[in-house]
A and B are shown apart, each in its own frame.
Chain A
Amino acid sequence: MNTAASTPASARRAALALLARATAAELATPLAAHWPDLTVRDLRRPESGLVMVRGRIGGDGAPFNLGEATVTRAVIELADGRRGHGQMLGRDHARARLAAIADALWQGEAERPLIERDLLSPVRRRLEAERAAIAAETDATRVDFFTLVRGDPEA
């Protein structure tokens, strides 16, 4: 098919997961800086729909339908035939299209380091910082329970 087949699927999955969480500015700024006049064809214009989010309580709970979430997806094609897919929560059509462009570029050996360095890394750092901040806030309220005396000391 194309260059995507030669890279491990898990690497692409990780990139797509980051692209799905990137803000519009995080996507648009590096793309505009490195590829200001990119030819892009919209194969599937951004479209919004619903997906059923399924959940389960605990590792062995029965799956249940938690609710529906709005998702937006887009597919673009670069001039050389590389196809990029953008898929994310929400209804931001421009963002889904930018993510698709970034995914298509990521699949090229030449462009991948630039995408990794200037687009994905900042997103990864921001997400890690956010996660750490929430963990720190939660950690500050931690209460350790322990038992001083177990049972009846007189017995």
Chain B
Amino acid sequence: MMLAEGLADQALDSQRAFRAAMDALARPGRILACGDGVPADAPLPRAAAALVLGLCDYETTLHLSPSLAGAAGVADYLRFHTGARLVASPGAAAFALVDLARDGLRLDAFAQGIPDYPDRSTTVIALANSVSTGGRLSIAGPGVASVAELAVTGLPADFTAQWAANRAAFPLGVDILFADAHSLVGLPRSARIIAEGR
């Protein structure tokens, strides 16, 4: 089977992806462009692919949600280009790639970190059909001037409750990067969802 190529410029594009992830978590709710370096025939949305290719290497563990693990070429593509170890259990993964629409999202299944090392929690990269501002969720917290608006397609119905539980465990908990074809938005564990619209 043909394998898609990785990042066009290994050094610069992975730095760009890292920068985008860092900015996204520092500025919750801000939409950031990402994924230019990923070829169009990659088996994943390009922003999500750029994040995984930029963040994962042979020392990280990566969990794929069931539909992605079963999808043709996704596991092969990521294993070849990152060298990351794929783990079946979400609780054992440093990074998790989740297809929101097909597999849903259960935040408490992921590694939450431990009190001495809260950083050992899973960073969830969630694939959405689209992410945009001005929508369903109003979020506040560090990095948000007053209130940020966020709309992510495919979120589970009980996401606000799940996020409240995630926030309550601070400094433990997961961080989420929502990615679509060419942009991403971050929701770090420090952010609060203050209102849920329709």
Contact = CB atoms under 8 A, between A and B. Distances in A.
Contact of B80 (A42, A43, A45, A81): A43
Interface of B: 1-3, 5-6, 10, 80-81
A77 B3 contact: yes
Contacts, number: 17
A43 B10 contact: no
Interface of A: 41-45, 47, 75, 77, 81, 83
Contact of B5 (A41, A47, A81, A83): A41
A83 B81 CA distance: 14
A100 B47 CA distance: 30
B54 to A, nearest CB: 15
Contact of B2 (A42, A47, A75, A77): A77
B3 to A, nearest CB: 6
A9 to B, nearest CB: 19
Contact of A81 (B2, B6, B81): B2
B1 A43 contact: no
Contacts of B3: 43, 77, 83
B1 A47 contact: no
A45 B10 contact: yes
B30 to A, nearest CB: 33
